[in-house]
Amino acid sequence: MPTDLELLAAIRLRDAEALATLYDKYGTKVFSLSVAIVGEGMAAQEATQDTFLKVWAQVEKYRHDAIPFSAWIMMIARQTAIDRLRYERRRTDNNDALEGEGVLEHRDVLAENNARWQDLRMVLDDLPTDQRVVLLLAYYRGLSQSEIAEHLKMPLGTVKTRTRAALIKLRDMLER
């Protein structure tokens, strides 16, 4: 299997097969994150396609010395799915299902990834509830800090403090 950098070099030369190989490698991760953000259905499929099309179109913007590609593509995937979610929200005026704790409830978990998923989920579960809810609403629902403050009926400063504390705690836990 070629490395990410080899695939990106081929994609710069407009090699569609390299993009197909990249999809084989990251398709499930991107689709899973899309489903977590926009739910199952066509929206998740289109968000997944759009993520890889952005990689195809914006590959020149990627700097391998700044961040790993695996992180870059997941940032694109999240932003793409969040954009889709905001669009759907505007379209339907549907602001339901903003509960942070409900964000990660999905079925159809691939059995072979269960252990890894449980492992990562446990990291999030280690956060205090108030920090976790703020982080989930920001990360998986794309809410601004003002929107979170309004939704949770708490001061903006508290939201900022909790978000920051959650990320720092995760960083420290992942470094151990």
Partner 1 sequence: MACEKVTELLPEYILGQTSAEQDAELRAHFSTCAACAQALAEFVAVSARIAQAVPQVAPPTQLKAALMARVAASGAPVTRQDVQPKRSLSRLFTFARLGLAVIIGLLAMQSVRLWREAQTVAQEADRQRAAVVDISQNPRSVALNATADGGKSSGWMKFSPDAQTGVLTVANMPALPASQAYQLWLVLPDGTRDDGGVLYTPATDGEQRLFVINAPRPFGAYNRCGFSREPVTGSPAPTGPGILRSDATDWAAYKS
Residues between 75 and 114 with contacts to partner 1, criterion CB under 8 A: 75, 77-80, 82-84, 87-88, 91, 104, 106-110, 113
Which amino acid type is present at position 13?
L
Select 20 or 95, whichever has its Cβ closest to partner 1: 20
Which amino acid type is present at position 16?
A
Q: Give 80: exposed, middle or buried? Use CB within 10 Å, 0-12, 13-18, 19+.
A: buried
Residue 129 engages partner 1 in binding (rule: CB under 8 A): no
Select 6 or 40, whichever has its Cβ closest to partner 1: 40
Using CB under 8 A as the binding rule, the residues of this chain from 13 to 32 that contact partner 1 are 16-17, 19-20, 23-24, 27-29, 31-32
Q: What is the rounded CA–CA span in Å between residue 131 and residue 128?
A: 5
Specify whether the CB–CB gap between 117 and 109 falls below 8 A. Answer: yes
Q: Which stretch binds partner 1 (CB under 8 A): 1-9, 93-101, 117-125, 149-157?
A: 117-125
Select 95 or 144, whichever has its Cβ closest to partner 1: 144
| Integer angstrom CA distances of residue 122 from 29, 32, 36, 101 | 18, 18, 17, 14
Residue 96 CB, nearest approach to partner 1 (Å) = 19
Q: What is the rounded CA–CA span in Å between residue 157 and residue 154?
A: 8
Select 95 or 156, whichever has its Cβ closest to partner 1: 156
**Site size for partner 1, by CB under 8 A?**
72
Residue 153 CB, nearest approach to partner 1 (Å) = 19
Q: Which of 62, 53, 117, 142 is nearest to 45 (CA)?
A: 53
